[in-house]
Amino acid sequence: MTSYVDSTAPGEGRRAPRADLRTDAPRLSLNGRWRFRLSPTADGADGPFDDWDTIRVPAHWVLEGHGEPWYTNTAYPFPLDPPHVPNDNPTGDYRLRFDLPPHWPDTVTVLRFQGVDSCAKVWLNGTELGHSKGSRLPFEFEVTGLLHPRDNVLAVRVHRWSSGSYLEDQDMWWLPGIFRDVELLARPAGSVDDVFVHAGFADGVGTLRVDADRPGVVEIPSLSLRFDTGTEVSVEGVEPWSAESPTLYRGTLVAGGERVDLAIGFRTVSIVDGRLLVNGRPVLMRGVNRHEHDPHRGRALDLETMRRDVLLMKRHNINAVRTSHYPPHPEFLRLCDEYGLWVVDECDIETHGFAYSGWKGNPPADPAWRDALLDRARRMVERDKNHPSVIIWSLGNESDAGAAFADMEEWIRDRDPSRPIHYERDRSYRHSDFHSVMYPSLDELSAIGQRAEPAPEGVSADDAARSRTLPHLLCEYGHAMGNGPGSLADYQKILEGSDRFCGAFVWEWIDHGLWGTDADGVPYLRHGGDIDVKPNGDRFCLDGLVFADRTPSPGLIEYAKVIEPVLVDVKPSGITLRNRYDVSDLAHLRLLWTVADDGTPVASGELAVPDVPARGSASVAVPEAALAAAPGTGERWLSVRAVLAADTSWAAAGHEVAWGQGMLAVFRPPSRRANGSALSARIDPATGRLLGLGDLAISGPWLDVWRAPIENDHGHGGLNELSRAWRAVGMDRFLHRTDEVRTEDDGTVVVRVHSGPATQTLALTAEYRWAPVDDRSVHLRVRVEPVGIWDGTPIGHHSVTPPRLGLRFGLPAAIGAAEWFGRGPHESYVDSFTAARVGRFRAEVDALQTPYPVPQENGNHVETRWLRLLGAGVPRLRVTGDPHFAFTVRRWTTEDLDRAVHPQDLRPSETVWLNVDHLQQGLGSASCGPALPDRYRIPVKPYEFGVTLSVE
């Protein structure tokens, strides 16, 4: 039985889609508390009205105490039998009684829904208005003549599943309900319904035409312009709009007594010789994929949350957003216009789950769905066409190929020839102005940069040849799931290295975690696997650069640094500034410098900002005063920070946008030599491990090769499953056997230990040489050698390699803080340390762990020169590198971290665990992406490293 719920029809009774306009005509928000009743099937339930609950609108009912949210990645949560959905189809009946405000005009009135998931049927005062699908797109009904001054009853029946759900298989929570605003709009007689602003910019001149469905007059006071709709005017001396300099000219269109607000940004988007240009200049988008998400409210975002996203992005040097994978709330685009972000506006279409039928029945390829797909394209373009920030239309995500994309393309090109079109998944790229891929390896991306990518399978030679002429838009890379992603700097280098690239978008902006409580009432962020429904996409929704509460993760800090708009290259011979802005010079910045010895500032000052045009560079001399500072101790570093000279709309004066550092000199202290004093280390003659160091109780070291696997260690879809291979060979359970403890004539204690897992021959033998330095210090030199069969258990075609190589020590729980000189303050790894500057840092032990919502390895610090651990009532421990080491300090073991399922499972132990590592494997982004490059793994070979341990 097919009803409107499972017919492919996109809707019925709706008005034609049009622009989202702000006007001075009367408007009544119908947001607020509505009556609500949930029934198990699409038929709803009969019965009295008085037992209905109440619910807030906008919201998702599953986040308001009615049923559960449900997360899947690619799977449809119902049988793949398009366009049908099961009888079990939770259906929410919504009812609102409302009065019209006094003096509501007796004119055309429109009822608008900005977003209802997934299908709504609407009645007003008993009259059925129609229905609509297309969750993240607006729909309107004309209700003229149906309204009363008082006691109107608006009823909306919302179905969780509908034919529309087949087009909405994005990797995200299924969240039903009226989740965007509902409003009533008076349309004064003679007013315009739709407006299309055409504002271009070329050769210093703006052109402007405002089309409307009825005649009206346009006024832009700041440009002294007044002209009729439909007339094109040229405007000399306008500032063009760009993400860097988002100049908006505000004005009005007056028709039928109504004033429509206009926010005009002059800009022209073009593709010339295979490059994307805006206003005639090349642009490199440094972007993110943004889903709408709030950990309490799902996709029902308020304006402040949207603004927070925009501000956070701007403050982290992000200049572009792909609205993955649907048009966002219209206010978000207004914010992008205002604050300046390039936008790839993506249509609400994804049919990924048809992968499970081998793409049989895929809607874009089936004419029965043509109207439904076109309807979505039209509603997006009509709604968003006036935003200068929107520079590219995307036809949707991961929906394979089909004729409907040709229809959508044709319709869009006809309606809005001013913007290029993007679609990634049809490898012929026939309906796309961009070549585009997701998650390439570094090598694959380099080939794309050289327009030398291999022809995709099944694509004609002509299509392949054409696609090589297109600019490349990297729509997803850098999978930010858990700790990571690594290699952002490597990718950026490639992206900056070829003019084919117009932009890249990290996957993704925010973790989609939803607050809930565990059995003990402890609040925590839930992922798909925390809710008892099947199938579910488990933790795959936690892959953002910001945590679900919008706290920046170390990944975001790294990204901000990697894409900083000025490259500040500091060398003793001079400072080079490379301006990476596409439009701006550097006049809005100040350059502040500091010279520090081992992290302690010894001189500082300010550099004059040279005149550097967009994409240009300049050299400046190292300031005299920096060179003149008297010799000190340790490493002398010159740091130069580029900060905002004045307040902007998105950050205050002084906000840092870029920085660079270079080492000027090293002042070596006189070397300390063994003075014949006894070894301060007390070593157990049986195990060869420490019993104490001076008065400090310290245990260890244990040779440590294990890390609590990060999400990227698990790989994806059976590929790159390093963690599985590690466990198979026992990397997580090394056992140790001390073979020898002896003291040499000079007092050096030599310990030989064999460390390896049960069942395997593979092992590491280590020789530890403990040499006295003075009565408070001991030098430890470690030589490690692999023995046994390491090639036996391959991962893919690789042999197993350990995730870590270092020493683990146990310390008293009284240790409360760490101070170090090295990279910080954030955690860093071999493939993610660009944002960690060399300096002197201090942190509480509890702050040295990053609270990833799924516990995993974290808190590493590469290139540490020395570390001091301090606590009340215990001697301080100092670790000095030979020259560098990496450290991790935490109140639980790696094994505890590995076992923990949620953060609340981690409890401080009686020991503070310190890892002094020679190496730790990089992060990569194999949780959805290529294998970790070999250079970030730890080859199985002999190693030698040393540290000095001192008590202070």
Q: How far is the CB of 440 from ligand GAL (least distance, A)?
A: 12
Q: How far is the CB of 480 from ligand GAL (least distance, A)?
A: 9
- Which residues ranging from 160 to 219 are in contact with ligand GAL (CB under 6 A)? 170-171
Residue among 631, 635, 630, 618 at smallest CA distance from 574: 618
Which two structure tokens, joined as six digits, stand for 10? Answer: 């996109």
Q: Which is nearer to ligand GAL, 325 or 435 (CB)?
A: 325
Q: Which is nearer to ligand GAL, 397 or 950 (CB)?
A: 397
Q: How far is the CB of 73 from ligand GAL (least distance, A)?
A: 6
Q: Which is nearer to ligand GAL, 325 or 641 (CB)?
A: 325
Q: How far is the CB of 675 from ligand GAL (least distance, A)?
A: 59
* Contact call for residues 862 and 821 (beta carbons, < 8 A): no
Measure Cα distances from 326 to 322, 347, 377, 798 in Å: 9, 5, 10, 39
Q: How far is the CB of 406 from ligand GAL (least distance, A)?
A: 22
Which two structure tokens, joined as six digits, stand for 761? Answer: 């021959």
Measure Cα distances from 936 to 488, 688, 795, 801, 917 in Å: 13, 32, 16, 11, 15
Task: Assess 476 for contact with ligand GAL (CB under 6 A).
Answer: yes
Q: How far is the CB of 173 from ligand GAL (least distance, A)?
A: 12
Query: Residue from 162, 191, 242, 397 that binds ligand GAL (CB under 6 A)?
Result: 397
Q: Which is nearer to ligand GAL, 4 or 326 (CB)?
A: 326
* Contact call for residues 666 and 634 (beta carbons, < 8 A): yes
**Taking the mean position of all CA atoms in its chain, how far away is CA 411?**
32
Q: Which is nearer to ligand GAL, 75 or 750 (CB)?
A: 75
Q: Is 212 exposed, middle or buried (0-12, 13-18, 19+ CB in 10 A)?
A: buried
Task: Assess 73 for contact with ligand GAL (CB under 6 A).
Answer: yes
135 vs 116: CA distance, rounded Å: 5
407 vs 410: CA distance, rounded Å: 5
Q: Which is nearer to ligand GAL, 84 or 479 (CB)?
A: 479
User: Is 128 tagged catalytic?
Assistant: no
Task: Assess 491 for contact with ligand GAL (CB under 6 A).
Answer: no
Query: Residue from 4, 507, 809, 936 that binds ligand GAL (CB under 6 A)?
Result: 507
Q: How far is the CB of 291 from ligand GAL (least distance, A)?
A: 8
Q: What residues form DSSP beta bridges with 753?
A: 738, 766
Map residues 667-706 to x or -, x wherever contact with ligand GAL holds by CB under 6 A.
Answer: ----------------------------------------
Tokens 């146990």 belong to residue: 810
How many chain residues bind ligand GAL (CB under 6 A)? 13
Bond preceding residue 148 cis, omega within 30 of 0? no
Map residues 330-349 to x or -, x wherever contact with ligand GAL holds by CB under 6 A.
Answer: --------------------
Q: How many CB atoms lie within 10 A of CB 934?
A: 9
Q: Which is nearer to ligand GAL, 543 or 896 (CB)?
A: 543
Q: Is 274 exposed, middle or buried (0-12, 13-18, 19+ CB in 10 A)?
A: middle
Q: How far is the CB of 69 from ligand GAL (least distance, A)?
A: 17
* Contact call for residues 502 and 287 (beta carbons, < 8 A): no
Q: How far is the CB of 324 from ligand GAL (least distance, A)?
A: 6
User: Is 398 tagged catalytic?
Assistant: yes
Query: Residue from 438, 464, 583, 665 that binds ligand GAL (CB under 6 A)?
Result: 438
H/E/C letters for each residue in 72-138? ECCCCCCCCCCCCCCCCCCEEEEEEEECCCCCCCCCEEEEEECCEECEEEEEECCEEEEEEECCCCC
95 vs 32: CA distance, rounded Å: 11
Q: Which residue of this chain has its Cβ atom nearest to ligand GAL in the complex?
A: 171
Q: Which is nearer to ligand GAL, 75 or 602 (CB)?
A: 75
Which one of the listed residues 64, 140, 346, 398 is annotated catalytic? 398
- Starting from the edge strand earliest in sequence, which strands make up the sheet with 634-644, in order? 600-607, 589-597, 634-644, 656-667
Which one of the listed residues 292, 350, 382, 476 is annotated catalytic? 476
Which two structure tokens, joined as six digits, stand for 616? Answer: 């240009």
Q: How far is the CB of 398 from ligand GAL (least distance, A)?
A: 5
Phi-psi region of 429 (alpha: psi -120 to 50; beta: other; left: phi over 0): left
Q: How many CB atoms lie within 10 A of CB 465?
A: 11
Residue among 469, 465, 475 at smallest CA distance from 499: 469
Q: Which is nearer to ligand GAL, 479 or 865 (CB)?
A: 479
217 vs 252: CA distance, rounded Å: 8
- Which residues ranging from 904 to 943 are in contact with ligand GAL (CB under 6 A)? 928
Report the catalytic residues: 398, 476
The residue ranges that bind ligand GAL (CB under 6 A) are 73, 170-171, 325, 397-398, 438, 476, 479, 507, 540, 543, 928
